[in-house]
Amino acid sequence: MKKRKINALQRSLKTIEIKHEEDVRILFDFREQPLQQPTNINLTIQLEGKNKVYIVVIANKRTNLSLNITYKTSKKSNSIINNTAFVMDSAQIKLHDKVIVEQPIDEVHLRQQIYLYSTQARGEAIPEMVLKTNKVKIATHESSISDINEREQAYFASKGIDYKKLQQLLLEDYISYCL
């Protein structure tokens, strides 16, 4: 399967076409350039054939972001979509992923995850699946918002890893896995 990476901080990015047998990794990293104003980013992704999409959003400081992504499937699509956000400091993230299925497809899976890395961080996940045909074998969506639980913190603390270091390790590990 062919892989493609996209740095999504390009303000002109509006549409991405994903061809058959392609894995795409999209990174929105606001650690170096936090958004000072509430910002909406709207993106359309055209899915064709069998593919995987990994989206990683990293926000800190006072970033206030609403990320709206519309996925349009084509005939014979088989897609897995993962949208994951790491929200630090007093940042706020709203993920709205909308999958529109207009033609018969085999399957599509949408997964949203938001990890809150501080008590001031806020996240909202809105998964949406619009089926305009009844010829869909499998269509699923899921979302979760969580922090690092106390049990995990205690385990890693017993290994000499403090909370901040644990957050950094988890973030780096996830980025290296996805990107």
Question: Whole-model pTM?
Answer: 0.88
Mean pLDDT computed over 48-77:
86
Q: What is the pLDDT of residues 152-168, one digit of tens each?
A: 888 999 999 988 899 99
Supply the mean pLDDT for the chain.
86
- Rank 16-20, 65-69, 142-146 by mean pLDDT and report only the highest: 142-146
The residues, ordered by sequence, that sit 6+ positions from 44 with a Cβ below 8 Å of its Cβ are: 14, 15, 16, 69, 70, 71, 72
User: Residue 105 is encoded by which pair of tokens?
Assistant: 């497809």
Buried/exposed code over 99-110 (b: 16+ C-beta within 10 A; e: otherwise): bbbeeebbebbb
